[in-house]
Amino acid sequence: MKQDLKVKQENTSQEAKEYIPSQIEIWKFYWQFIKIDWYILIGLNCQWLVESILHTRAPFLLLSIKDQLLNIDANNYDSFFLLVIEFIATHIILQFFSFIQVKVTNRTSKMVQQNIQKQIIDHLFTLDIHYFEENKATSLHQIIQEGSEQIGKEIQYGRIFQKINQFIYFASRAYFIYVQNVKIFISVAVVALICILLQQYFTKEKKKIEKINNKICEFESFALDEILNNMMLIKTYSKEEKEKKNLEKIMQKNRDSRQQTQIYQQITSIVQSCSHEMMKIAVICHAFYYYLQHTTTQNQGEFNKQNNFQQQILSRNLGEIISNTYCILFLIRDLIQIANNSTDDFYENRKKHIGKVMNLFTVKSSIIQEKIQKNQNDELLEGEIIFDNVCFSYPARDNKLTQDYKLIQGQNIVDQTQTSTFNTNEETNVNSFSIQGVLNKLSFKVNPGECVGFVGASGGGKSTIVKLMERYYDISKGAIIINGKNIKDVSLQSLRQNIGLVHQEPQFFDNDIEYNVTYSLEGNYTQEQLNKVLQISGVNEFILDKNRFPLGLKTLIGNKGVKLSTGQKQRIAIARALIIEPRILILDEATSALDAESENSFQKYIEQIKSYQKMTIIIIAHRLSTVLNCDKIFVLQSGTIIEQGTHQNLLQKNSIYSSLVKCQLKQNIQHQNLSLEHKDSVETNDSLLF
């Protein structure tokens, strides 16, 4: 295991470093992105500043009081009382400040955290859909939770000012000891320096192990995420044991690495506590030395004024010197950190979390909307669609975690970086590469009110067309024109509000059917409107079944609509798309389960949808029977249209489409156990396609 860890350690050192922003970068980021309540911040820092000045003065004040007390007479009563009053006032103010600090920081800490969380979430909503496709929900969740908490704390405790105040405090204590006795100061400082260097060494070692530990923790949450999301798949293939073993392997590594970290942690804490004690011993040794010297000189009859003075000081202030010695330790630690330009462990961890949030804020939507005027937002589209020489490639991300995870599982991995051309995308801070031309000079036209179908082999780019129409991505060349306008000149809201999109695997909220159908209208709909779409989409057919849906529309559908069949889900998704009265309706494999349920009724169904209102309908389907009656059918291959026309026209051409039809027919025949004689009747008997 040790060897394993060593290998991993080497791997880690080769990896790109985790982003740890500098303090200046953090402050720049706050200034640009985070709305901070500067009044609270300035108020708190002023308070800290006053507090540290008072703390600095306090030991000297006490010393003056002691001195006065030893030499008190009628002449200095007034100044003695003034000093006492100042001393009491200082401590009352300090107590009051600490009370206020606890109250204010606790209250505002939560407020700041919530405010930052809101800003992170607001930013997430501005990002493109593919960002969410590429990032795991759990890691985003972690950024929101931990990131906001750490930024909240960082802002709340005003790190820089707090550090300055701390520095003043430690320096004042060190100066206090220096004034009392230079030799004690030097010996304590030497002990502190040795201890700090030892501590630094062990902390460095601990950090190395912690780095590996963090990586393994990441794998652990990655693995858990994968397992929880694919539980059905794992159970289907009875791979519970395999996954358990994988997880156990990662957990074991995690445990080992944690143990190592703990050992280093223990050593550093031992060194730390020893250093306190050693410094105290140094002070006591000095005191003893002066005491001995004083007695010797007295015995010799030579009164040494200097030593007597030091002995007096020591006897009066020994307690305070001892209690303040550890300040020298912190002072030296801070000085070393400043010299090394490093931070303490705890703060580095905080910076990592802040760095993740900063990275998130550098990710910007690639959908540029600058040109759009406000008055164009309400413009309605008519439903004419033109794709003019459209070229497009997907930007893909670096899957470093997946590759490392495969390594830890002991699988062979192909280095994707070698098969693709990498370039550093400064804007998103990730390495990205482009998959070669998904759509290549794609051109087609759909007239308003037409119903068109897209067919073709898997991976031909059918769904990509839909994503581009919705502007989930922007095209690299050419233009997409809807109703005479380039979609880049139409607001996203207006564009998406006029397109009803039904995916093959629609998403649902864990709520009731009515909420999911009327989601986009936020309660602004009439019962009549709702009933109409429920009837057209066929939702009525199943919700009226009181045995299975006793609460009708108010029936809860469960997590991701788990309580519904695929066909039922598709019907609800169609109702949801229709209720916004779109100018364009896109059914992306959205009726596959529906077809199967009600075989020949599909065309009737489309007519029903058309009767709802005039709209352009785009049907993407593998099942050719679905597009049979379309006004136009486009056959797509490798991102270009290779054939277009009506079903009959295309069959007559006797090319790709007709071979697709024949192929599907053959499958259907095999599936239905029909005799091969039926094969020749393709052109006359279209019903076989169903």
Could you list the residues that contact ligand ATP (CB under 6 A)? Answer: 130, 133, 394, 396, 435, 438, 458-464
Taking the CA atoms of residue 130, residue 136, residue 139 and residue 143 in that order, the dihedral angle to the nearest 10 degrees is 20
Closest to 204 in 3D by CA, of 257, 274, 270, 264 = 264
CB of 439 to ligand ATP, least distance (A): 8
Tokens at residue 491, please? 């607001």
Select 130 or 239, whichever has its Cβ closest to ligand ATP: 130
**Closer by beta carbon to ligand ATP, 300 or else 458:** 458
CA torsion 680-682-688-690 (nearest 10°) is 150
Rounded least distance, CB 416 to ligand ATP, Å: 12
Q: Which is nearer to ligand ATP, 40 or 385 (CB)?
A: 385
Smaller CB separation from ligand ATP, 184 or 624: 624
Q: Would you say 165 or 393 has its CB closer to ligand ATP?
A: 393
Choose between 130 and 153: whose C-beta lies nearer to ligand ATP: 130
Tokens 């949030």 correspond to 357
CA distance 148 to 357: 8
**Residues 440 and 476 sit within 8 Å (Cβ to Cβ):** no
Encoded tokens for 662: 């024949």
- 43 or 395: CB nearest ligand ATP: 395
Q: How far is the CB of 467 from ligand ATP (least distance, A)?
A: 7
Q: Which residues of 152-186 are buried (b: 16+ CB within 10 A; e: fewer)?
A: bbbbbbbbebbbebbbbbbbbbbbbbbebbeebbe
Nearest-angstrom CA–CA distance, 124 and 268:
41
Shortest Å, Cβ 466 to ligand ATP: 8
Between 21 and 461, name the residue whose CB sits nearer to ligand ATP. Answer: 461
Q: How far apart are CA 195 and CA 326, in angstroms?
A: 11
Kindly state the greatest CA–CA separation across the chain: 134
- Closest contact distance (angstroms) between CB of 556 and ligand ATP is 31
Q: Closest separation between CB of residue 114 and ligand ATP, Å?
A: 34
Contact indicator for 392, 439 with CB cutoff of 8 Å: yes
Closer residue to ligand ATP (CB): 322 or 446: 446
Could you tell me the smallest distance in angstroms from the CB atom of residue 211 to ligand ATP?
Answer: 31
CB of 499 to ligand ATP, least distance (A): 17
Q: Whole-number minimum distance, CB 462 to ligand ATP, in Å?
A: 4
Distance in Å, CB of 435 to ligand ATP, minimum: 5
- By DSSP bridging, strand 439-446 and strand 423-425 are unpaired
Q: Half-sphere exposure of residue 384, counting CA atoms within 13 Å on the CB side?
A: 8
Q: Whose Cβ is closer to ligand ATP: residue 293's or residue 365's?
A: 365
Place of tokens 């820092």: 45
| Contact yes or no for 160/41 (Cβ under 8 A) | no
**Which C-beta is closer to ligand ATP: that of 152 or that of 461?**
461
CA 140 – CA 360 distance, rounded (Å): 9
Residue 433 or 605 with smaller CB distance to ligand ATP? 433
| Contact in structure between 561 and 520 (CB atoms under 8 Å) | no
Which residues lie below 8 Å from residue 165, measured CB to CB, with a gap of 6+? 48, 49, 51, 52
Least distance (Å) from ligand ATP to the CB of residue 455?
9
Query: Can you tell me whether residue 430 is helix, strand or coil?
Result: strand
Query: What Rg, from alpha-carbon coordinates, does the chain have?
Result: 37
Query: In this complex, which beta carbon is closest to ligand ATP, that of residue 459 or of residue 558?
Result: 459
Residues contacting residue 122 through CB under 8 Å, at least 6 positions apart? none
The amino acid that residue 517 corresponds to is: V
Q: Using CA atoms, how far apart are residues 113 and 199, in angstroms rounded to an integer?
A: 33
**Burial of 212 (C-beta count, 10 Å sphere; 0-12/13-18/19+):** buried
Smallest distance from the beta carbon of 590 to ligand ATP, in angstroms? Answer: 12
Q: How far is the CB of 128 from ligand ATP (least distance, A)?
A: 11
* Long-range Cβ pairs for the range 138-146 (8 Å, 24+): 138/221, 138/224, 138/225, 139/221, 142/221, 143/353, 143/356, 143/357, 143/360, 144/117, 144/120, 145/117, 146/353, 146/356
Rank residues 396 and 651 by Cβ distance to ligand ATP and give the closer one: 396
State the minimum distance, in angstroms, from the CB of residue 632 to ligand ATP: 18
